[in-house]
Amino acid sequence: MRKTLFITAITLASFIGQKASAQTVDIYRDSVIQLYGVIMTADSLRAIPFASVLVDKKGRGTITNNDGVFSIAVNKGETITFSCVGFKNRTILIPTKLEGNQYSVIQLMVNDTNFLPATILRARPSRAQFERDFVNAKVDDDLYETARKNTSMSQKRVILSSLPFDGREAVGASLTQQATKYYYSGQLPPMNILNPSAWRSFINSWKRGDYKSKK
C-alpha cells in the first residue's frame, strides 16, 4: 500500500513539474517578439543608414542597413533607443499586452544642431617669423626611425639592465648559486679580483660605457 502511494506521489509530482515547465516555456516564448522597421529623417523622409538600435540596460542591439531597415528580437516591455550621429535620440516602449510575436515601427529622427566654439584664425606677423618657426619646428620620427632607435645596442643594454629575470632565469640563477655554494663547501671560494676573465669583462663594459650615469 505504501509503495503504491509513493509511486503515485512521484508520478503526480513529475506531471506537475512537466506542466509547470511547459507553462514557463510558453510564457517565455510569448514574451519574445521580432521588432522590425525603418528609420527615416523627419523632414525629407530619407532612410538613415547605420543608425543604432539598442535595448536599454541589456547591452545588445543592431544597426540599420543602407535602406534604414532593421530587425531585432526583443522582449515585451523593453525600452528601445534609436540613435545616430547628427540626430536626436528617440525611445519607444514595447507594449506588454501585444498580440502576436511581431511589431513594426517607422521611426522618424529629427536633426540635432550642435554649436561648435568659434575658431579665430590669425596670420603670421611676418615672413621671417614664419620661416623661423618652420625651421625650428620639431618633427616626430617616422616608424622606421623609431624602430631603429628602439633596436639600437645602447637601447638594448638599457632595457636589459632594468629587465627583471623571468621564471626560468630566476630558477637557473638560484640553482647555479646553490651549486657554487655546495662546490666550495668547506673551503674558501676563489676571489674574482684575481680572475682574468672577470677583469676582461669589466674592461669591455667600461669601454662600452655601461657604467656611465644616465641622465
Do residues 143 and 91 share a domain? no
Answer yes or no: is 52 within a domain: yes
Placement of cell 566654439 in the chain: 117
- Are 95 and 157 part of one and the same domain? no
Greater model confidence, 84 or 24? 84
Tens of pLDDT, residues 104-163: 999 999 998 878 888 888 776 788 888 888 888 887 888 888 888 888 888 888 777 777
Higher pLDDT, 33 or 15: 33
- Indicate the DSSP class of residue 151: T
| Residue 120 is assigned to a structural domain of this protein | no
The reply to whether 41 and 105 lie within a common domain is yes
Report the share of the chain in percent with pLDDT over 70.
82
Residues 104 and 62 in one domain: yes
pLDDT, position 29: 57
In the predicted structure, residue 27 carries a pLDDT above the cut 50: no
Of residues 102 and 169, more confidence is placed in 102
Q: Of the given ranges (13-17, 39-43, 105-109, 122-126), which has the lowest mean pLDDT?
A: 13-17
Q: Is residue 73 a part of any domain in this protein?
A: yes
Q: Which residues contact 130 (CB under 8 A, 6 or more apart)?
A: 124
Residue 100 is part of which domain span? 23-109
**Quick check: is 117 in a domain?**
no
Q: What's the mean pLDDT in 36-42?
A: 94
132 in helix, strand or coil?
helix
CATH number for the domain spanning 63: value is 2.60.40.1120
Entry pTM: 0.44
Q: Is residue 114 part of a domain?
A: no
In this structure, the answer to whether residues 134 and 181 fall within a common structural domain is yes
Same domain? For 31 and 80 the reply is yes
Last residue within a domain, chosen from 49, 75, 109: 109
All 3 cell numbers of residue 34? 521580432
Instruction: Look at residue 30 and tell me if it is in a domain.
Output: yes
End residue of a domain, out of 83, 109, 135: 109
**What is d(CA 55, CA 84) in angstroms, rounded to the nearest whole number?**
15
Question: Quick one: 146 and 86 in the same domain?
Answer: no
Residues 134 and 173 in one domain: yes
Residue 43 has pLDDT above 60, yes or no: yes
Extract long-range pairs of 89-98: CB within 8 Å, 24+ residues apart.
91/56, 94/33, 94/35, 98/33
Residue 139 maps to a domain = yes
pLDDT score of 23 more than 60: no
In tens, the pLDDT along 177-186 reads 888 888 878 7
DSSP SS3 for 38: strand
Round to the nearest angstrom and report the end-to-end CA distance of the chain. 95
131 lies in the same domain as 201: yes
Q: How many separate domains does the chain show?
A: 2
